[in-house]
Homo-oligomer: A and B are copies of this chain.
Amino acid sequence: MEEKPNYHMSSAEFRQWGYKTIDWIADYLENVEKLPVLSQVEPGDIRAKLPNSPPQQGESFAEIFKDIDEIIVPGLTNWQSPNFFAFFPTGISAPSILGELLSAGLGVQGMLWATSPACTELETHVLDWLVDMLELPLHFKSSETGGGVIQDSASSASLVALVAAREQTTADISKLVAYTSTQAHSSIEKGFKIAGISSENLRLIEVDGNYAICPDALQQCIEQDIAAGLTPFYLAATVGTTSSNAIDPLPELGAIAQKYNIWFHVDGAMSGTAALCPEYRWIHQGLELADSYCFNPHKWMLTNFDCTCFYVRDRSKLTQSLSIVPEYLKNQASESGAVIDYRDWQIPLGRRFRSLKLWFVIRHYGIEGLQHYVRKHIALAQEFAEWVKSDSRFELAVNPPLNLVCFRHKGGDRINQTIVNSLNSSGKIYLISTKLDQKVTLRMSIGQATTEKLNVQQAWELICQIADAN
């Protein structure tokens, strides 16, 4: 064989296979409803189809595409199916996909302002836009003391908030105590482990009948800890918990945080997006007391993962905690103090140009288009909740505040578990269960980009059929 001078794809080949990939995605999304929602493969099935050794010589893209169809697709759990009701939605949309594509094509690093000023400035700008779009407290704007940054996930956002909070304290790390609810996301506890604070020092405060944190119980616990010589330093509240979409009472919690000088972090991972609509902005009442906040456009705002918008009241507290400046990262722009270097706002050094996809989504849909989807999903969820209420075999676990309906068959854990397992193994829909008050509870999360009323109706019919048969 003749020696190859250059193994790159030519520009013409890139165009050809690029179009092909675009077409493949368009076809996939047009047909995803026909695929099983939960992948039906067994452990090891995918690997068994892959060659043991990597190729010595390059292969054609035609071969790669064949394997995508034959090997990869059967191993997908299809999050973009309109019949996906598990966990929380993971948003994608055409403009967002193209934003990711453009970011990949540019291949720039946004670790410092100087390493691509547009990457930093567009991010700051779009995150400022979102303060207005959600009517968030103004101190989260970059023109004030705060500012926003894109993190990969709410997990990382709560971790950097925790680290910033910890760095404000002078007490020994073993004396620091933090507070969240029994219903908070597992990432809060995981962040604790990573940040070196014993999970014994994380207090899981009891919740009320709606699974929202009890301010009185919090206050009592703080007083006890202080009396025991400990230092309360961090409180994480949730706007829309994972299990039941509970909304913690931010005004009361914020007042307590202020009284005891505790960093107040609010996690609005999925539900924060609802504040795009004025009628749902009550979920953020009290947010003006928060030191930090995040919500995930990658959940319910049609934007590809990863895109968590994280805001801080005082950006200097964040950068003081995370900035380390070796010689090779010094540059004139950074030293002038006139720019943001987002590497100091996050755990990794490198960063992709993630604001492109968010910018594309906001510009393509407009505020109006994004509000449309929030309203649509909430309306569908409320309608589903009515069906549950009107069926004597079922009950709501809580009244759904937004787009997540938690309900159960009154016949006990076993029948509820049977319903989940049957639904998921059918491949027709995917939903998951949780436990509320120790009882298996079904979660109907409605938020995929293409979910229509018919999909929700079919899901309910399927649930009723399984209930009938058991």
Taking a contact as CB atoms under 8 Å apart, the answer to whether B328 and A243 are in contact is: yes
Taking a contact as CB atoms under 8 Å apart, the answer to whether B153 and A349 are in contact is: yes
**How many protomers of this protein does the assembly include?**
2
Which residues of B have CB within 8 Å of A163?
A: 193-194
A41-49, A223-231, A253-261, A277-285: which lies at the interface: A41-49
Task: State whether A360 and B64 are in contact (beta carbons under 8 Å apart), knowing that A55-B367, A118-B76, A325-B186 are contacts in the complex.
Answer: yes
Which residues of B have CB within 8 Å of A331?
A: 432
Taking a contact as CB atoms under 8 Å apart, the answer to whether A193 and B368 are in contact is: no
Taking a contact as CB atoms under 8 Å apart, the answer to whether B364 and A87 are in contact is: no
A214 at the interface (CB under 8 A from B): no
Residue of A19, A77, A153, A369 ringed by the most chain B CB atoms within 10 A: A77
Bound CA span A156–B305, Å? 18
Taking a contact as CB atoms under 8 Å apart, the answer to whether B189 and A324 are in contact is: yes
A306 at the interface (CB under 8 A from B): yes
Tell me the dominant secondary structure on chain A's binding face.
Answer: helix
Which residues of B have CB within 8 Å of A396?
A: none
A210 at the interface (CB under 8 A from B): no
A217 at the interface (CB under 8 A from B): no
Shortest Cβ distance from residue A448 to the other chain B in the assembled complex, whole angstroms: 10
Taking a contact as CB atoms under 8 Å apart, the answer to whether A75 and B19 are in contact is: no
Shortest Cβ distance from residue A62 to the other chain B in the assembled complex, whole angstroms: 11
Which residues of B have CB within 8 Å of A74?
A: 118
Contact of A90 among B91, B107, B450 (CB under 8 A): B107
Taking a contact as CB atoms under 8 Å apart, the answer to whether A106 and B366 are in contact is: no
Which residues of B have CB within 8 Å of A360?
A: 64
CB-defined A-B contacts under 8 Å, sample of 5: A11-B29, A21-B105, A58-B363, A64-B363, A97-B105
Taking a contact as CB atoms under 8 Å apart, the answer to whether A305 and B76 are in contact is: no
Bound CA span A332–B28, Å? 28
A166-174, A287-295, A384-392, A453-461: which lies at the interface: A166-174
Closest residue of chain B to A57, judged by CB?
Answer: B366
Which residues of chain A in 82-96 are interfacial with respect to chain B, using CB atoms and an 8 Å cutoff?
Answer: 87, 90-96
Which residues of B have CB within 8 Å of A116?
A: 39, 75-77, 79
Taking a contact as CB atoms under 8 Å apart, the answer to whether B7 and A79 are in contact is: no
Bound CA span A130–B53, Å? 9
Taking a contact as CB atoms under 8 Å apart, the answer to whether B39 and A14 are in contact is: no
Bound CA span A115–B90, Å? 12
Closest residue of chain B to A362, judged by CB?
Answer: B54
Bound CA span A319–B18, Å? 38
Bound CA span A304–B105, Å? 9
Task: State whether A15 and B23 are in contact (beta carbons under 8 Å apart), knowing that A76-B118, A77-B115, A327-B243 are contacts in the complex.
Answer: yes
A350 at the interface (CB under 8 A from B): yes
Residue of A8, A61, A103, A421 ringed by the most chain B CB atoms within 10 A: A8
A209 at the interface (CB under 8 A from B): no
Residue of A100, A121, A126, A163 ringed by the most chain B CB atoms within 10 A: A121
Closest residue of chain B to A176, judged by CB?
Answer: B196
Taking a contact as CB atoms under 8 Å apart, the answer to whether A93 and B9 are in contact is: yes
A59 at the interface (CB under 8 A from B): yes
Task: State whether A79 and B109 are in contact (beta carbons under 8 Å apart), knowing that A43-B336, A117-B43 are contacts in the complex.
Answer: yes
Taking a contact as CB atoms under 8 Å apart, the answer to whether B79 and A107 are in contact is: yes
A208 at the interface (CB under 8 A from B): no
Closest residue of chain B to A196, judged by CB?
Answer: B196
A466 at the interface (CB under 8 A from B): no
Taking a contact as CB atoms under 8 Å apart, the answer to whether B97 and A104 are in contact is: yes
Which residues of B have CB within 8 Å of A193?
A: 163, 167, 321-322, 324
Bound CA span A9–B361, Å? 11
Taking a contact as CB atoms under 8 Å apart, the answer to whether B58 and A327 are in contact is: no
Which residues of B have CB within 8 Å of A15?
A: 22-23, 26
A468 at the interface (CB under 8 A from B): no
Which residues of B have CB within 8 Å of A100?
A: 100-101, 103-104
Which residues of B have CB within 8 Å of A64?
A: 95, 359-360, 363-364
Contact of A364 among B9, B185, B368 (CB under 8 A): B9
- The 3 A-B pairs at the shortest CB distance, nearest first, are namely A196-B196, A75-B118, A25-B105
Which residues of chain A in 332-352 are interfacial with respect to chain B, using CB atoms and an 8 Å cutoff?
Answer: 332-333, 336, 338-339, 347-350, 352
